[in-house]
A = this chain, B = another copy of it.
């Protein structure tokens, strides 16, 4: 999974089978030091993530397994809203602590 920040939404009327009633959010991948890490991607959300929140995103076929009753052709899913994370970088003997909700 990767850490991302929700930065927006996408809307589509004309879509493939299985894409109905899916909330699609735009996710900016982040490293754990508040910097962006690459191009934003689009992920489905069922747990109520909002713009500005840090989320955990799972990609590939694992994301699809959440839909047991139908085929949903998605390759990215928000699987958690981050309460907090703590990262230690030993080589520089510093500790970053971060909380997404305060």
* Bound Cα distance A81, B12 (Å): 6
A47 touches B88 (CB 8 A): no
Task: Count A interface residues, CB 8 Å.
Answer: 64
A7 touches B87 (CB 8 A): yes
* Bound Cα distance A4, B90 (Å): 14
* Bound Cα distance A3, B41 (Å): 7
User: Known interface pairs A58-B75, A85-B11, A90-B52. Does A31 touch B40 (Cβ–Cβ under 8 Å)?
Assistant: yes
Q: Which 7 A-B pairs have the closest CB atoms?
A: A12-B80, A8-B87, A15-B80, A1-B42, A37-B39, A16-B79, A14-B81
Give 24 A-B contacts (CB < 8 Å), ordered by A residue: A1-B42, A1-B76, A2-B39, A3-B40, A7-B89, A8-B85, A11-B83, A11-B84, A11-B85, A12-B81, A12-B83, A13-B81, A14-B47, A14-B48, A16-B66, A19-B79, A26-B85, A32-B40, A58-B73, A60-B75, A62-B73, A62-B75, A66-B71, A68-B71
